Amino acid sequence: MRELINTFKRIYGDKEVKMIYSPLRICPLGAHVDHQEGIVTGMALDENVEIAFAPSQDGYIRISSIDFPDEEYFHIDRVPEMLPGFWGNYIRGAVLALQQAHKLQYGFRAVISGKLPIGGLSSSAAVTTAYLMALIQANLLTISKEELISYSHWVETEFIGLKNGILDQSANILSEDDHLLVMDCQTGEHELVKKSPEMPDFEIVVVYSGVSKALMGTDYNNRVDECKVAGWIVGELAGLERTALQDVKLRNISEEHYRKYRDQVPGKFRKRLDHFFTEKNRVLQGIEAWEQGDIEQFGKLMFASGESSIHQYESGCPELITIYELLKETEGVYGARFSGAGYRGCCIGLINPAYKEQIKANIDAVYPTQHPEYKDVYKVHFCKTNNGARFVDQEEKGKVFE
């Protein structure tokens, strides 16, 4: 935080500076179901994207990043086009998202940083939320958390072009420490389920593979389409009213129809169905285990979710599969799976803190040998959970004022 504020003051000379913490997220259960309007779970980590900013009366946006070169600079009335791969896209999208329903008058000057050099914890959603919150503050708008989720999601789907669901934004915005966020991606209803007093303390291991690429360049969108085709086939077999393919969501297929027609659905489409319906049950069982403080059972479900993501959903990449398999055999790991889509980034696990050193040693002993091209960039990191995105009151350091 100090470095960020000092950089901000050095670049812009402002004395007044506002801060936002926008956390990275994990999804313990509910893999690859958000875009099919399933139910997902999420938690925010104590690692944040941080932004130091001050409103600009002239309507210009000016942002420097601690992590990336180049400056982003434009007027809110003349938003530049999306530039594939450029970090500035998220502010461009954020301005356009808000302008759909709000008149923006003010811009801001800012410095942004994301501490972990780690992909797969949804730093893009965290960054977008941070920009949206800065714009909301600068323009004195009042916006609900639900609206914030939908604007942040709009940037990802409509501006960037990823066909994802609302998992990342929901976990980033709604999470509360010591709670499991349960989000129904169809109705938008959500619940924060408090950690049971019976549950032993846990921490989160984040094992970064070193593989970093944009999800847009992976099979992510193809899998989403395969889910739609799978749902469409079941709909046909069941004689349901036909909808446009892009509107098909597996959530709208009943468990009964799935069981009845599953065997007639060919190859990979059947696998996508199997993943969706088994994951649905794992989420429900996981919520129960969480409520009872049964971390062992919760962890087993996470491993099973990982297994299904690899074999039924057929997502992942060799590096992340190595890490998942390693965590599965490591003592002290209750449960683990890909943090996000699995095509890059990291695996996460819920762990017993007493085993931290052993867990790290285990990964260090195998991963760099199996994937030597990443030996200098992979990382084993331990985190705790924390609250969702928030403004930080500068004068009373660390106090949340929203």
Residue 379 makes CB contacts below 8 A (sequence gap 6+) with 117, 118, 206, 207, 208, 210
Residue 200's CB: how many other CB atoms inside 10 A? 11
Q: Please report, as residue ranges, which positions from 249 to 288 form the binding site for ligand GLA (by CB under 6 A).
A: none
Q: How far apart are alpha carbons 59 and 132 in whole angstroms?
A: 15
The residues in 316-345 that bind ligand GLA, with binding defined as CB under 6 A, are 340-341
Using the minimum distance from each CB to ligand GLA, give the nearer residue, 62 or 272: 272
Residue 35 binding ligand GLA, by CB under 6 A: yes
Cβ(304)–Cβ(281) below 8 Å: no
Minimum CB separation of residue 153 from ligand GLA in Å reads 9
Q: DSSP label at 160? A: I
Q: What's the closest the beta carbon of residue 360 comes to ligand GLA, in angstroms?
A: 25
Q: What backbone phi and psi angles, to 5 degrees, belong to 242?
A: -75, 135
Provide the strand spans (E) within 196-300: 203-208
Among the listed ranges 12-20, 136-144, 165-173, 327-335, the one in contact with ligand GLA (CB under 6 A) is: 165-173
Region of 161 (left: φ > 0; alpha: ψ -120 to 50; beta: rest) is left
The β-bridge relationship of strands 390-393 and 18-26 is antiparallel
**Is residue 27 close enough to count as binding ligand GLA by CB under 6 A?**
yes
Is 41 an interacting residue with respect to ligand GLA (CB under 6 A)? no
User: In angstroms, rounded to a whole number, what is the distance separating the alpha carbons of residues 53 and 25?
Assistant: 23
The rounded distance, in Å, linking the Cα atoms of 87 and 127 is 9
Using CB under 6 A as the binding rule, whether residue 167 contacts ligand GLA is answered as: yes
How many CB atoms neighbour CB 85 within 10 A? 10
Q: Taking contact as CB under 6 A, which single stretch among the options 32-40, 255-263, 269-277, 370-378 is the one that binds ligand GLA?
A: 32-40
Residue nearest ligand GLA by beta-carbon distance: 340
304 binds ligand GLA (CB under 6 A): no
* 119 touches ligand GLA by CB under 6 A: no
Under the binding rule (CB under 6 A), the answer on residue 211 touching ligand GLA is no
Interface with ligand GLA includes 129 (CB under 6 A)?
no
Phi, psi (rounded to 5 degrees) for 381: -135, 145
- Residues within window 224-253 making contact with ligand GLA, judged by CB under 6 A: none
- Measured between alpha carbons, how far is 178 from 192 in angstroms, rounded to an integer? 9
CB of 295 to ligand GLA, least distance (A): 21
Closer residue to ligand GLA in complex, CB, 27/283: 27
End-to-end CA distance of the chain: 19
Q: Which two tokens stand for residue 87?
A: 């970090």
- Pick the stretch among 15-23, 27-35, 236-244, 268-276 that binds ligand GLA (CB under 6 A): 27-35
Alpha-helical (H) ranges within 100-178 are 123-138, 145-154, 167-174
DSSP 3-state of 341: coil
Q: Which one of 34, 46, 168, 184 is the catalytic residue?
A: 168
347 binds ligand GLA (CB under 6 A): no
> Binding segment for ligand GLA among 24-32, 51-59, 111-119, 390-398 (CB under 6 A)?
24-32
168 is an interface residue for ligand GLA by CB under 6 A = yes
* 376 catalytically annotated: no
Q: Pick the stretch among 30-38, 96-104, 190-198, 287-295 that binds ligand GLA (CB under 6 A).
A: 30-38
Q: Which is nearer to ligand GLA, 248 or 341 (CB)?
A: 341
Is residue 382 within 8 Å of residue 356, measured between CB atoms? yes
Residues annotated as catalytic (active site), given as ranges: 168
Q: Which residues bind ligand GLA (CB under 6 A)?
A: 27, 31-32, 34-35, 122, 164-165, 167-168, 340-341
